[in-house]
Amino acid sequence: MAAAWEFHLPLSPADLLRDGGPGRYVVQEVLPARELPPALTAFRTAFRARGALAVLQHFDPLYSLLHHFQAVGTDVKEDALELMMRVVSHHSNELPAILGDSGLSHTDRTAHLNALKMNCYLLTGLVDAFEMETCKSGLLENKKSRTKTSGSLWEEEREPLLRLLTQLLQLDLHKLWGGSVVEEEFVSLMTGSCYRVLENSSIGLQKYRATREAVTHLLATALVHYDHMFSATLKIAQMLQHFEHVAPVFAQAVSLWATEYGLKSLVGELLREIGQKCPQDLTRDASGIKGYATFITELAEQIPALVLANMSVLLRHLDGESYMMRNAILVAMAEALVHVLNGDQLEEAARGTRDQFLNMLQAHVCDINGFVRSRVLQLFTRIVQCKALPLTQFQSVVSLAVGRLRDKSVVVAKNAIQLLAAFLSNNPFSSKLSCTDLAEPLKKEVQKLQEMRDRDRSTAAPVITPEEEWEAMLPEVRAATQQLFQPQQEGEEEVLEVEETAESTSEQITRLLRKLNYKSAARLTQKALCRFQGKEPFSGPTEENEEATILGVLKRLYTGSCPGENSEDPPHGNSSHKTKEVVPEEQSQTELVKQEMLVQYLQDAYNFSVKITEALSLISKMMYENCVSVVQEAIEFFVTVSKFGVPQAVVGVRRMLPLVWSREAGIKEAVLNAYRRLYLSPSGDSERARAQGLVHSLSLIMVDASLGTIQCLEEIISEFVQKDEIKPAVIQLLWERFTEKSQCSSLERRAAVMLLGMMARGKPEIIGSNLDVLVTVGLSEKVCEDYRLAQEVCNAIAKLAGKPKPALGNNNTPFRLPQNHMLFGCLSKTVSKGFDQPSGHWIPFMEAAVMLIYQLAEGAEEICAHILQVCSQQALEKLQEADGQKADPGVSPSRVSGGASSLPTFLLTHLVSLVGQVALQQVAHLEVSVSAELRRRRILREEEKTKKRSDSSMRQKRLRSTGNETTMEEELGLVGATADDTEAELIRNICEKEILDGKHLFSAFVPLVLKICNNPGLYSDSALSAAAALTLGKLCMISSEFCDSHLRLLFTMMEKSTLPGVRSNLIIAAGDLAIRFPNLVEPWTSHLYARLRDPCPSVRQTAGLVMTHLILKDMVKVKGQVSEMAALLIDPEEAIMGVAQNFFSELSNKGNAIYNLLPDIISRLSDPNCGVEEESFHIIMRHLFSYITKDKQTESLVEKLCQRFRTARTERQYRDLSHCLTLLPLSERGLQKLQDNFDCFADKLQDPAVYSCFQTVLARFRRAGGKPENKTLAEELEQKLSASHNRGLDSAETCQEGSRTPVPGPAKQKPTGGSRRQPLSTANRDDDFVTPQPRTFRNQKRAQKRPPPKKAVITFSSDEENSSEDELSAELTEEETPTKTTPITRSSARRLR
């Protein structure tokens, strides 16, 4: 058939509808959609008859199908797709024979070429149409429609279709074009379908793996056979820019093409195309950046060698703004370092590239972007794990990692910890990295190296022979000699004289030569030649001239004077000596090199250990970060460090203990796992050996451990015991240590009892089944030798008591032992026996014993009363012995106060402490145990009544006439509530009226305690004063009436006492009283806050802890005085600083508490009279503002701070307020607030510091990015700031005059200075202690009639014992007692009316 036209592939489908010129195919008619099914049938029939050439007459119907694709039914589309695949497949099978026919006519070739282009155009058109439809249907997955079915069919047919196109392209199609190059439009048509398929966002899913492979092979065929390289490079770069999901697909495809198809040049072309992109343009195209970065990253992981070869074209992006591109290039470098530039056999060029890459990576550890810093640390972690980091780079990278621990980004800090852990796990130095253990061998080997060097230097032959030295010196010596024959200069004197003998003259000349004084040596030689003619060494052959003679003598003298060189020695002897020394010299050099390598290795190991030790202190602080993952990494790090024997790791292991109480389940589990790995998996061959290892490790933790550490360890061990993770062999070993069946020290024995007590919390039967052993061994006759062991025995037995407050609904009888149990007999005997013995550990044991008696004994008050009577009787006997009187058994204990001064101080201290402990435990016993028992019995009675009622008949229930109200009360729970109030009132009456009345035992000791407290001059012993103060606080816990009458004394002592122990004890007592009697203590709150400025660190720490508990429990109103707590954030004591940080951290969890307090804190701390320095103020504010995270809070604070500029009086306050603004993360609305309140601070911008702060605020806002209109607003604000700043001196003077408003000065000026406010002096004047004034008067008239109170006069006693009783009184007068303010509502502590 003669074809009168040629089919040209159109740029767009519409081109086929327009006449493109003579000889070009044009679509004659676009059929309507309803006529397409018959047309397809006709084409199918023609195909059966003529094969693939049928399309030459039936192209228009199929073109019409593509034109109406959206309107055509699914069946028609699927039929068309199936038909075209059959046509192309048939044509593909026919073409090899046709192309191989050498006699193919031009007409047939043209016909097959047109048919091929038409069939491929239609098939690829269907591919594009189906892909577009699939993408749209993917957005409507839940909608069941025929489109989805069509899409599903297309997904099944897509892969076979791509394989069909690949098969077609693999044919030698060039012959259809007459042997010339296949037209580019045809190749683009075939490959365009591949790119269209890849645009589908779901192509990356695993189920489409076969489709991706088909696309890869089709494109590979086009690249290999059809010169598609240039087009592919542009298309891939374009798609990477617009479609993020194709980056991994293309990375895998390019890797395959480079390795299997030999298309390595494509990698270079693609990377060059990406490298030529302008970094500034990429910054504006986030999608493109991500695609390029992912592609580079994935490609580097798969073919690092090829990427390395083209790395130079990418390096320009390392200086660009896009952090994703920087990350990608750094990843490529790391992959090259791991896979290519790794090993000791690298060539010099490769080694240089490796070092260059490592230097670049290290430089970006300090990148401006946190994501880059984090990524580089991750890359170094991988490099270290793959052992690809040279030893020479270890120290520098470790130092960088330690520095990043302080990074403000938690992700960076987390990755820094991971890197250090990787360094530890993969370090080439040692399995033990203790600085102490490494320092000694290093010192020893350095000394050995020095000795080897000295020995080698003394035995080694000189490198330069004397003859060689003379030849080097000869020009200068000749010049100096020639000067001898020139006229002497004026002023030049002759100072050298010839010695007496030729030998001494020779030595003198040699010394001059060695000092390089050639002229003097030559002149002296000239004189010697005249004086010592014929004598050696001045004799010899006479030279032609005098100059040559002098030079000859000098040469003989110089070369003959060197050690080891003797002109008289025979030559053969020297040669023989050298031959013998060759081998030892080589050996010594080899040993020296080995020793130098050993010293370098030990030095590197030591330096590495020092850096790890430095990191420990930083990471231990990070365990209390807010980020859970950082905390987990820190815990994991300390587990790793512990395995390498670093001694300081124990500090971190202890520091993680409190995290077992964390609310985050992940952190608690991390701590448990850490201790499980550290202690529950000890090494050992037998069960016994492993138990010994575990017990030994746990005992080490408890050496010098604080009470808090022990409580945390108890929580962990009880968890292990409940899960049966501690073997019975461990418990057996602990019992053996306690009973001394196994040899151990007293410390280990005490640790064994503590561990048994901890385990008993998880399983009380561990103690319960061996109670008799604990009592007989731990509380035996030898108890006086070790009261601390007896104290731990009491603590362990106390675990049998369980929880002090039973759970609701638990009406079981509490565990109690009978009053005559041997335990209480032993305790009474032991306490009484040790009462009159001076021991520093008796009081803690006594407190534990009394607490145990009240927890476990029936009739505990009788046992303790007996102990009190016995001990007071002993005190009386001691008193009578001292006075020389006979003991009178009828003497009342009250007589102790009459002659207390005659008693030994320790005995009085013991007695006062015993009274206080029994009093406190009695109150606790009534409030907790007795109250709970009353409630339990009442509930049991009510249950019995309810049971009886249920057994009564229904008739009786109906006839009840007065039961409605009772039923209603029962339903509302009023019966139980009323009963609870009745029981509480009963307990309260006992405390208020009975315990301290004259009939009770305690009343006999109250005067003694008061006398000691009132007379610090007479009773000056610090231990006695502290014990009495604590006992006074405990007695105040009993009765509100007693507390009210003695609060003046308590707070006077807290304020005036010179003993830190007294002040600390009274702060603790006041904290407990604030919870028990809040209304009484509330007027004295300011005195509690004042202790936060105490000069003694221990008192400040105690005050900080007490105020933390009171404020967080809402027992103290948080007023402006909370700035005293903020001032502790800069305390020089780290522990106190930690208390303050913990307080604000917990306070931040209570809603908007910190936000509400910030304005007052800022006002107080920026006040020039408060004494907080400016730098300290910045530190405090930086910490407090870190808790402001909500946008609304930020906006509101911006407005409040701006308004504060109006009331600020000093330049210091201006600077402080402006600094606070820099600490806020300013949002768009925050910037608007700043603009709205510009007038508030405009006149303050003349101050350079204030102006600089506002500049910082704007710079930070710009870095955060935002909308264009916000940037415009920022620019406007900056212009206003600049204009106000540059107004000039006239405006500044005007502003100053305008701000000179008379401001009332503070009532009392406080000295400023120091990093912290001035501490309260313990030697205050008497008028400094002012009784708190009432805020509100309930009876205003009565208050007006009362005469004004006198100023408080407090007189402390002198040390004179003969002072009168009135002079020794330290109490305030009755009128000075603070009146009660508005009560704090508390349901658990009601006052009696």
State residue 6 phi and psi, 5-degree precision: -130, 140
| Tokens linked to 804 | 């002090």
The terminus-to-terminus CA distance of the chain in angstroms comes to 122
| Tokens linked to 473 | 């010196």
Name the residue among 620, 616, 624 with its Cα closest to residue 661: 624
| Tokens linked to 1172 | 């907080």
The kind and range of the H/E element at 209 are: helix 209-225
pLDDT in tens, 443-494: 777 777 777 777 766 655 556 777 778 888 888 888 888 887 776 654 444 5
Read off the pLDDT band of 544 (50, 70, 90): low
The predicted pLDDT at position 1339 comes to 39
pLDDT of residue 914 exceeding 90, the answer is yes
The predicted pLDDT at position 215 comes to 86
Read off the pLDDT band of 1264 (50, 70, 90): low
The predicted pLDDT at position 528 comes to 82
- For residue 6, list its beta bridge partners: 24
Instruction: Report the SS3 class of residue 430.
Output: coil
CA distance 740 to 518: 88
The predicted pLDDT at position 699 comes to 85
pLDDT of residue 1141 exceeding 80, the answer is yes
DSSP state of 965: H
Torsion sign (Cα): 550, 551, 557, 560: negative
CA distance 733 to 682: 15
- For residue 857, list its beta bridge partners: 817
The predicted pLDDT at position 1098 comes to 92
The predicted pLDDT at position 1327 comes to 42
| Tokens linked to 690 | 């492993």
CA distance 1067 to 199: 73
The predicted pLDDT at position 1269 comes to 65
Read off the pLDDT band of 101 (50, 70, 90): confident
The predicted pLDDT at position 619 comes to 86
Count of alpha carbons within 13 angstroms of residue 1039, beta-carbon side: 16
Cβ count near 1104 (within 10 Å): 25
pLDDT of residue 976 exceeding 60, the answer is no
The predicted pLDDT at position 573 comes to 43
pLDDT of residue 1249 exceeding 50, the answer is yes
Name the residue among 416, 379, 429 with its Cα closest to residue 614: 416
Read off the pLDDT band of 542 (50, 70, 90): low
Minimum mean pLDDT range among 126-135, 593-602, 1325-1334: 1325-1334
CA distance 857 to 929: 11
State residue 857 phi and psi, 5-degree precision: -90, 140
Output the 3-class SS for 974-985: HHHHHHHHHHHH
Name the residue among 1059, 1026, 1032 with its Cα closest to residue 1046: 1032
Residue matched to tokens 């490494």: 438
| Tokens linked to 448 | 């050995």
Mean pLDDT of 394-411: 87
Task: Write the burial class of residue 1066 (CB in 10 Å: 0-12 exposed, 13-18 middle, 19+ buried).
Answer: buried
Task: Tell me the percentage of the chain whose pLDDT exceeds 70.
Answer: 80
Mean pLDDT of 1226-1244: 83
CA distance 671 to 666: 9
Residue matched to tokens 């490198």: 463
Instruction: Report the SS3 class of residue 857.
Output: strand
Name the residue among 936, 972, 965, 966 with its Cα closest to residue 949: 966
The kind and range of the H/E element at 698 are: helix 687-701
CA distances for 601 relative to 441, 442, 608, angstroms: 11, 9, 11
CA distance 70 to 367: 53
pLDDT in tens, 12-54: 777 777 776 677 788 777 888 788 888 888 888 888 887 778 8
> pTM for the whole thing?
0.67
Q: Which amino acid is at 1280?
A: K
CA distance 341 to 352: 10
Mean pLDDT of 212-237: 86
| Tokens linked to 49 | 């008859």
Where does residue 1311 fall: left (phi above 0), alpha (psi -120 to 50 degrees), or beta otherwise? Answer: beta
CA distance 397 to 403: 10
Read off the pLDDT band of 968 (50, 70, 90): very low
Instruction: Report the SS3 class of residue 96.
Output: helix
| Tokens linked to 438 | 């490494």
Q: Which residues are CB-neighbours of 37 under 8 A, at least 6 positions away?
A: 76, 79
Q: Are 36 and 83 in contact (CB under 8 A)?
A: no
pLDDT of residue 529 exceeding 60, the answer is yes
The kind and range of the H/E element at 874 are: helix 860-883
CA distance 1133 to 1129: 10
pLDDT of residue 431 exceeding 50, the answer is yes
Read off the pLDDT band of 1251 (50, 70, 90): confident
Instruction: Report the SS3 class of residue 447.
Output: helix
CA distance 606 to 392: 14
Read off the pLDDT band of 591 (50, 70, 90): confident
- For residue 817, list its beta bridge partners: 857
pLDDT in tens, 604-623: 777 877 887 788 888 888 88
Name the residue among 150, 159, 132 with its Cα closest to residue 75: 150
Residue matched to tokens 């790890």: 612
Task: Write the burial class of residue 706 (CB in 10 Å: 0-12 exposed, 13-18 middle, 19+ buried).
Answer: exposed
The kind and range of the H/E element at 383 are: helix 370-385
CA distance 518 to 509: 9
The predicted pLDDT at position 112 comes to 82
Cβ count near 892 (within 10 Å): 10
Q: How open is the CA angle 558-563-567, to the nearest 5 degrees?
A: 65
Mean pLDDT of 421-440: 72
Cβ count near 482 (within 10 Å): 11
Mean pLDDT of 1306-1324: 41
Q: Which residues are CB-neighbours of 949 under 8 A, at least 6 positions away?
A: none
DSSP state of 1084: G
Distance between alpha carbon 839 and the CA centroid of its chain, in Å? 45
Minimum mean pLDDT range among 57-61, 1111-1115, 1354-1358: 1354-1358
User: What's the maximum distance between 2 C-alpha atoms anywhere in the chain?
Assistant: 160
DSSP state of 1321: P
| Tokens linked to 729 | 């062999």
Mean pLDDT of 1142-1162: 86
| Tokens linked to 629 | 């993952």
Name the residue among 1122, 1220, 1127 with its Cα closest to residue 1173: 1127
Q: Which amino acid is at 170?
A: Q
Cβ count near 667 (within 10 Å): 20
Mean pLDDT of 1270-1292: 71
Distance between alpha carbon 599 and the CA centroid of its chain, in Å? 35
Q: What is the mean pLDDT of the chain?
A: 78
